[in-house]
Amino acid sequence: MQDTVLDIFDVLLPPFYFIIIFFYARLIVARNIKEKPYYRYLLPGLVCKMIGGIGLCIVYTFYYTEGGDVTNYFLSTTTFVNVLLDGNFAKFFEMLDYKNHNVWEVLSNSDSYGYFHFAPNDYYALFTVSITVPFCLLAGKSFIATTILLTSFSFIGLWKLYVVFVENFPELSKQFAIAIFFVPSVFFWGSGILKDTYTLSAIGLYIYGLYKFQILKERKLKYLFLIAISIIIFIYIKPYYFFALLPGSLIWIFFQKIRKIKNPFLRIMIVPILLSSTILLVIGCLQVFGNYLGEYSLELILQKAVKTQQDLIRVEYGGNSYNIGIFEPTVPGIVSKLPAALNMAFFRPYIWDTRNAVMLLSGLENLFMLGFSLYILIKVKFSTLFKSLFSNPLLIFSFLFALFFAFSIGLTTANYGALVRLKIPCIPFYLCSLFILYNLNKDSFKNK
């Protein structure tokens, strides 16, 4: 049975913080909505995200009664806070020693502080816990209040992502709000004390910083700071996020320059060279930084993908696993599974794959995504599809990131439970891409 995570402060503090954040957000909306009408979605999006975080707390407290990552991160964070409140600053900073991974050793004779609920060499979890400490400290070690504070802070990244899309397609403000704020799996799994909450927000900050600094040429240090902070979060939590963003980022920047070339023949000649160069550059970066990336190096990713699928035949995985077939740990072997992996990430679990209430909601969501995708595919012919994709740099970036990320998750994840949570970063980009494709071709639909 898990340690107790709820106490009297979970009754007293959450309403207090909820009200303060709500009214502060209202002030922001009031100051901006006249000039920027899309600000009307800020408050509903923030409230929805806070509700998702609170819901995740309730699910991990009363449904997953044996605990899980959410409660483990919280309990580990309270251990750090206990050391800090005890005034033992030397011990606190010793626990943050990422090189020696000695959290367990430091706490070995200090049971009164609590425990670190992860492996001693899991520095990704250690970093996540350490940056959650300020939220837990402000929340008085309240599980739900900590979640509300973290969720509200992480919403900044999602809002910045929304702003980038709206500034390019202001007529789609409602559709982008749906894709980024109101997809159930995104605001649920991306709003708790989890790695995904930080990395999802960091994606938004990274794209916003890149958009302002490189695309709009607003050379301000604050945008470089956003990019740098986001990359640090990626490196210390989930390094492969950065390498998933890198191809689309380079193409976004290069295509923005290509659009200025007036000669259509020259533009057509440059595109394949650009795409192949980008792929080679990303593969080269993965190989060069292989030692630093550890389990996320290119060679180990291929081996892990194969091992994951081989493990699925074991009986103990039960009916919650999926299998896309056997393949070799080579680039051609991996590419051969592209359709199956994309289908797995975007559209599964199907309704008939679900085994519990949480997964049923994901099944319904995937059914909508499948239907919407087929509708767009029928409306937008293949020839028009590729022409539309290359007509807008933001669209090609969004679509490439969604495909690249979905492919890697669908290929390397072992079961539906993990798949539902891990794939959430690609969902907003995929849906935004579909909305943009529809918008770019809606006139031709009317003519037909």
Report pLDDT digits (tens) over 89-140: 888 887 877 665 567 666 666 667 777 778 777 888 889 999 999 999 999 9
Query: What is the domain range of residue 399?
Result: 260-447
Query: Is 176:165 a contact under the CB 8 Å cutoff?
Result: yes
Mean pLDDT of the region 310-320:
49
Minimal CA–CA distance to 423: which of 364, 346, 368, 358?
346
The CA–CA distances, whole Å, from 387 to 168, 264, 265, 268, 437 equal: 18, 13, 15, 11, 10
Q: Are residues 304 and 443 in the same domain?
A: yes
The answer, yes or no, to whether residue 447 has pLDDT greater than 60, is no
187 in the same domain as 112: yes
Give strand pairing partners of 321.
Answer: 415
Q: How far apart are CA 120 and CA 273, in angstroms?
A: 45
Between 47-61, 123-137, 367-381, the lowest mean confidence (pLDDT) is in: 367-381
pLDDT given at position 243: 77
Q: What does 285-342 look like in DSSP terms, one character per residue? A: HHHHTHHHHGGGSHHHHHHHHHHHHHHTTSGGGGGGB-------SSHHHHHTTHHHHH
189 and 270 fall within a common domain: no
Q: Which two tokens stand for residue 291?
A: 């030692």
Residues 418 and 274 in one domain: yes
Split into its structural domains, the chain has a count of 2
Residues 6 or more apart in contact with residue 342 via CB below 8 angstroms:
403, 406, 407, 410
Compute the average pLDDT of residues 299-313. 54
Q: Judge if 283 and 418 occupy the same domain.
A: yes
pTM of the model: 0.88
How many CA atoms, within 13 angstroms, populate the side-chain half-sphere of residue 299?
7
Can the peptide bond before residue 349 be classed as cis, meaning omega within 30 degrees of 0? yes
Mean pLDDT across the chain:
82
pLDDT above 50 (res 317): no
Inside any domain, residue 240: no
350 within a domain of the structure (yes/no): yes
Q: Specify the pLDDT at position 1.
A: 41
Answer whether residue 161 shows pLDDT above 80: yes
pLDDT at 327: 64
Q: Is the pLDDT of residue 10 over 50?
A: yes
| Nearest partner of 161 among 200, 216, 198, 190, judged by Cα | 200
Looking at the domain assignment, is residue 114 inside a domain? yes
Cβ proximity of 143 and 10 under 8 Å? yes
Which of 177, 196, 215 is the last residue before a domain boundary? 196
Q: What is the pLDDT of residues 257-291, one digit of tens each?
A: 776 666 666 666 666 676 666 667 666 666 665 55
Flag whether pLDDT at 300 surpasses 70.
no
The token duo for 435 is 């909305």
